[in-house]
Structure 1
Amino acid sequence: MRIYIPATWPMLRSLVKNGVLDPIGGTAFALTPRLREAYTSGDDEELEYAAMTEAARASLRLLAVEFGLGENATPPRRVVVAADVDDVTLRPDLDDGAVRINGAVPFERVAAVHVDNEDAEYAVRQAAEAVDRADLGDMDAEFLVGEAEDHELAWYDPSEIAFLVDLR
């Protein structure tokens, strides 16, 4: 199953250094039956994109924690790692596309990495500071999150990840 793991730049750096990605709480997103039911139309590709979008919003939440801890050197870029794994558990208590995986994901299972470009950094920083309020229904905060989500994530092949990390 293709999963989308919310991450941050330090997690991406760790993937390159250690050869594994350890998702926070084992949380990832995928095209689940519940996600499919939440949409009245759309093919698998469109629904996979919806799962990746949920992971990108979760990446904002991770960034909010890092910034709150004073990790200001962390680039304000959403990171989503796409990987293919066999064993997932559905998480109906979370978002429609949420799943839990057991353990770390080895680099060999990574299919791609999706990362914001530099031009999204301002919007992403603003969104990371607002995402909790947006989750609670604050429309001004939701607008800031939407500004970040208007930026498309760039796609990188696994062979490019080490070079990407070295650039920053």
Structure 2
Amino acid sequence: MRVYLPCTLPSLARVVSAGEVGPAPLTGYAVTPALVEWYASGDTEELEYVALTDAAKASLRMLAADRADGVDVAARRVVVAAEVPDDLVIAGLDIDERSRVRIPAEVRMKQIASVHVDDPQAVPDIEAAVAAVFSADAGDDDARFVVDGAEAHELLWYATQEIPDVLA
């Protein structure tokens, strides 16, 4: 099953160094039965895009949490796409995030299919969204509008052999 794992550039560097995404358990996003039921008219590609978008929003929350902890992190969302055996993917029942899943094991580098990262031109909108994401989660409509502005930016696709270039 294709699973989208939220990440940041510093955590992606740790993934490369460690040779895995971890420690387990991991939270990811995938095409779950709940997502299929909710988005009944979508094909597999559309459903995977929804899961990728949910992971990108989780990456935005990771950036905001890092900033709140005083970590200097670039304002670029990162999502790692990996192939995980179906029997290791545990779908949740979260109504707000129908694509959210848990993975009880680390994800090895060889399981990573690609990495998706914001274009540097998106940074101003991502900066604004990082500052607004927790307010948006709390129901602030103005903050949601700012976060939606970040979500309007498509993530760029990188093959695994391009990860060193992304981190450079």
Which category of TM-score, normalised to the shorter sequence, fits these structures?
over 0.9
1:85 aligns with 84
2:166 aligns with 164
Read off the aligned partner of 2:119 and give its amino acid letter.
N
- Once the two structures are superposed, the pairs formed by residues 11-30 of structure 1 within 5 Å of their partners are 11-22=11-22, 26-30=26-30
Moved over 3 A (4+): none
SS of 2:76's equivalent in the other structure is coil
| Deviation sequence 1:101-129 (CA, Å, 0-9, x none) | 01211100000000001111111111111
2:3 aligns with 3
- Residue 40 of structure 1: how far off its partner (Å): 3.5
Equivalent residues of 1:4, 1:80 under 8 A apart: yes
1:111 to 110, 113, 119: 113
Alignment TM-score, normalising by the size of structure 1: 0.94
Moved more, 54-63 or 13-22: 13-22
SS of 1:70's equivalent in the other structure is coil
Distance (whole Å) between structure 2 residues aligned to residue 131 and residue 158 of structure 1: 29
Equivalent residues of 1:78, 1:116 under 8 A apart: yes
Distance (whole Å) between structure 2 residues aligned to residue 161 and residue 131 of structure 1: 27
1:155 aligns with 157
Distance (whole Å) between structure 2 residues aligned to residue 25 and residue 149 of structure 1: 26
SS of 1:13's equivalent in the other structure is helix
Equivalent residues of 2:129, 2:146 under 8 A apart: yes
2:147 aligns with 145
Over the matched positions of the two proteins, sequence identity in percent amounts to 46
Distance (whole Å) between structure 2 residues aligned to residue 48 and residue 90 of structure 1: 15
Unaligned runs of 5+ in 1: none
Alignment TM-score, normalising by the size of structure 2: 0.94
SS of 2:28's equivalent in the other structure is strand
Q: CA RMSD in A?
A: 1.3
Equivalent residues of 2:113, 2:160 under 8 A apart: yes
| Deviation sequence 1:1-48 (CA, Å, 0-9, x none) | 100000111111011111111268510000001011111311100100
| Deviation sequence 1:139-168 (CA, Å, 0-9, x none) | 110011011111110000011112211x2x
Moved more, 109-118 or 90-99: 90-99
